[in-house]
Chain A
Amino acid sequence: EAAVTQSPRNKVAVTGGKVTLSCNQTNNHNNMYWYRQDTGHGLRLIHYSYGAGSTEKGDIPDGYKASRPSQENFSLILELATPSQTSVYFCASGDQGALSDYTFGSGTRLLVI
């Protein structure tokens, strides 16, 4: 069954440390996305990718980097984690074109202390 798998499911990080969130999709979708979900803000787009080797800035990219080494894998990197980055992070994949929906992973809950 096609799916989007995120790891880890939960992560506790220290302020100033480096955090890498991983995402793998078996949907053979070209596009992949990273969102964060916070109460009162809904889902906000951090970075996205149109294919292997490409990354684009979303609406709130500051403090985050992304890496798309292959069609299947898309990582979100926090080089210097801050408490304001405590959130639930969702990865999603989608087909090209404006008319296709996303498949989301189950999320990574990140706590930065």
Chain B
Amino acid sequence: QQKVQQSPESLSVPEGGMASLNCTSSDRNFQYFWWYRQHSGEGPKALMSIFSDGDKKEGRFTAHLNKASLHVSLHIRDSQPSDSALYFCAASDFCAGNKLTFGIGTRVLVRP
């Protein structure tokens, strides 16, 4: 069973719209979360991290973490065609040091 589960598998949003991605961990040791973005033909790039309950905003991107339910979400406001990519949720626990476990990804398509 995937320790980090993402939904939906894919989504399509109009340019200027809001994209919402979800991630849940089944391992209560996972307390630290990242979102990575991968454009076609490239390696994943870290988008943002979130370690505390609540919201974290960076530009058009807002992450929300609920540690009690081990649920983290990513919201992309005013989506642009350049946001079309594969988005990974990743998690780690303090005991594992810097070893990240990734979900299977959500593919986002922004329609012009």
Residues of A near any B CB (own CB < 8 A): 4, 31, 33, 35, 40-45, 48, 50, 58-59, 90, 92, 94-107
Contact = CB atoms under 8 A, between A and B. Distances in A.
Contacts of A44: 102
A31 B100 CA distance: 12
B93 interface: yes
Given A42-B105, A98-B32, A99-B32, A104 B43 contact: yes
Interface size class of B (residues with CB under 8 A): 20 to 34
A98 B96 contact: yes
Contacts of B96: 98
Contacts of A100: 98
Contact of B97 (A35, A90, A97, A104): A97
Interface of B: 2, 32, 34, 36, 41-46, 49, 51, 88, 92-94, 96-105
A102 B97 contact: no
A103 B2 CA distance: 23
B44 A43 contact: yes
A106 B43 contact: yes
B46 A102 contact: yes
Nearest 7 CB-CB pairings of A with B: A104-B43, A101-B46, A42-B104, A43-B102, A98-B94, A42-B102, A94-B98
A97 B98 contact: yes
B105 to A, nearest CB: 5
B99 A41 contact: no
17 contacts: A31-B97, A31-B98, A33-B99, A41-B104, A42-B2, A42-B104, A42-B105, A58-B99, A96-B98, A97-B97, A98-B92, A98-B98, A99-B49, A100-B98, A101-B34, A106-B42, A107-B42
